[in-house]
Structure 1
Amino acid sequence: MTASSDRRPARSGLPALYPCTIAHVRRAPRRYALRHRTYLWLVDVDDLPVLPRPLRPLARFRARDHFTGRASSIRAALDGFLDEHGVDLRGGRVLMLAHARILGHVFNPLTLYWCHDADAGLRCVVAEVHNTYGERHAYLLHPDTAGTATVAKDFYVSPFNPVDGHYEMRLPPPGEHVRLAIRLQRPGSVPFTATVHGRRREATGPALLRLALRHPWSTVTVSAAIRFHGIRLFLRGLPVQPRPGRRTPESAS
Structure 2
Amino acid sequence: MLSPALYRTRIAHRRAAPVEYAFRHRSYCWYVDIDDLPTLPRWLRPFARFDARDHLAGKPGDSLRDRVDAVLSGHGLDVSGGTVTALLQARVLGYVFNPLSLYWCHDAGGTVRHVIAEVHNTYGGRHAYVLSGDGRLATVAKAFYVSPFNDVSGRYLITAPLPAETLEVTITLLRNDQPPFVAAMRGDRLPVSAAQLLRLQVVAPLAPLVAAVAIRRHGIALWLRKVPVVPRHEKAGLR
TM above 0.5, one fold? yes
Which residues in structure 2 correspond to 1:109-148 (within 5 Å)? 109-143=99-133, 147-148=136-137
Write the letter of the residue equivalent to 2:107: D
Greater relative contact order structure (CA < 8 Å, 6+ sep): 1
Name the structure 2 match of 1:226: 215
Deviation at 1:102, TM superposition (A): 0.5
RMSD of Structure 2 on Structure 1 (CA): 1.5
Name the structure 1 match of 2:43: 54
**2-side partners of 1:160 and 1:78: how far apart?**
30
Name the structure 2 match of 1:8: none
Which sections of structure 2, spanning at least 5 residues, go unmatched?
none
Q: Which moved more, 1:130-139 or 1:115-124?
A: 115-124
**1-side partners of 2:157 and 2:179: how far apart?**
10
Which sections of structure 1, spanning at least 5 residues, go unmatched?
1-10, 247-251
- SS of the residue corresponding to residue 200 of structure 1 reads strand
Write the letter of the residue equivalent to 1:232: A
**2-side partners of 1:65 and 1:244: how far apart?**
24
Write the letter of the residue equivalent to 1:201: L
2:72 to 54, 65, 82: 82
**1-side partners of 2:92 and 2:105: how far apart?**
25
Name the structure 2 match of 1:100: 90
Identity over the aligned pairs, expressed in percent? 53
**1-side partners of 2:225 and 2:42: how far apart?**
46
- SS of the residue corresponding to residue 100 of structure 1 reads coil
**2-side partners of 1:191 and 1:180: how far apart?**
16
Write the letter of the residue equivalent to 1:75: R
**1-side partners of 2:59 and 2:173: how far apart?**
30
- SS of the residue corresponding to residue 25 of structure 1 reads strand
**2-side partners of 1:233 and 1:69: how far apart?**
34
